[in-house]
Amino acid sequence: MPLAPAMVQFNVESDGKRENIMSEAHNLEAFRTSVREWLASNFPENLVGFSMGMEGSANALHESDLELWRQRLAEKGWGAPTWPVIYGGAGLSHPQAKALGQEMGKIGAFNPIPILAGMGVTMVGPTVLEYGTDDQKARHLPGIASGAIRWCLGLSEPNAGSDLASLATKAVDQGDCFMVNGQKVWTSGADISQWCGAVVRTDPSAKKRDGISFVMLPMNQAGVETRPIKLISGVSPFCETFFNDARVEKTDLLGDLNDGWSVVKRLLQHERQSQTSARSAVSAEKESLPAMAMRYAGTDAEGKLADADLRTRMVRHLMAEQAHGLTVSRITAEAKGKVEVSAAASILKNSATAISQSKSELTLEFMGSQGLGWQGEQFAEEELSTVRDWLWGKAISIYGGSYEVQNNIISKNILGLPETTQKG
């Protein structure tokens, strides 16, 4: 009996889809092969196992190799691999970018450019791609993608933290430019950045969300002063930043005048998206968490972690970590390569925060007193970094929008609950 036309059509479409899937898989595998070959010839062996600081610093032993590696990645466009080639990227699909990261990880390689660019690759760049003019994209994006230009962000103020719309820093129109006056706080890397993206008040008579603009200004000018803030962890990436008649060119207004609230909301969505990966408790982890726990806390006669309660909590942590990773992968796959930044990023940001902090707590616990050292020859390097990472990790539930702020976003934009936290 001949097949019905509808059935024939269905089979043809199914075959076409299978062929497309097989073709995509074949192309991705070919891409992986080319990545492996390129990495084998270009990644400096001296950098295997090297762990960059939060600000991209390196000692003299690694400095020249790190700069060489940055230049080679920039030439390939792999510093910001999914960005258009015209702006310094490589035009890769998200599956290709993921494969690139995986192949780097297999040999101990890494992409230093997102760290060297400060807030550029993860936040400023994606926002400029969406809101910037052709001139702004051409002037600012290549320097970010290459890691040659570092960006900071002037968002929070002493009296405008979670309620960012209460900001008081103002920009006054001077005809050919804006003059900015005010103070920002928690401006990460401001003391070593060349550019700053800042939210400023341009219409003091408007409602607080309606009179804000987003501007981009050079840090190397007389009207800008930065003061680092010392943290308990011993690392100081944060600064206070003061603007005293700082100059902003009219061509560096991002988006429309007085519509900066729309721009900064989108920028913060990109920030949350970049924070959905759980941060490791140890910067350069060379063995698995269970293996490290067994080495410190000991094993029973069956070779299991001796402390049954610690073992249970370790399993729960690993399950949560695996579930989080699979959820990130699912959301990416459902977007079919076009990663859409939405309120779901707030869920993943909080999930990543909980996983990262629980990992630090577990590590500190099984190390015991060896995990509490600050200095001294009796402590190994991994032990000294553990207590610093544990202290630094407390900031994860604050920066990028606090844990509570993310819950407010989830309740309003996902659960549809009424707005009760912001007015004006």
Q: How is residue 307 written in tokens?
A: 């402390």
Q: How many CB atoms within 10 Å of residue 114?
A: 19
Residue with tokens 């070779």: 303
Q: How many CB atoms within 10 Å of residue 14?
A: 10
- Strand 170-173 vs strand 151-154: parallel, antiparallel, or unpaired? unpaired
Active-site positions? 271
- Residue 242 CA to residue 154 CA, distance in Å, equals 10
| Helix-strand-coil split of the chain, %, nearest 5 | 50, 15, 35
Residue 394's φ and ψ, nearest 5 degrees, are: -65, -25
Strand blocks (E) in 19-81: none
> Which residues neighbour 308 within 8 Å (Cβ) at sequence distance 6 or greater?
none
Q: Are 356 and 393 in contact (CB under 8 A)?
A: yes
Residue 352's φ and ψ, nearest 5 degrees, are: -65, -40
Q: How is residue 148 written in tokens?
A: 């040659």
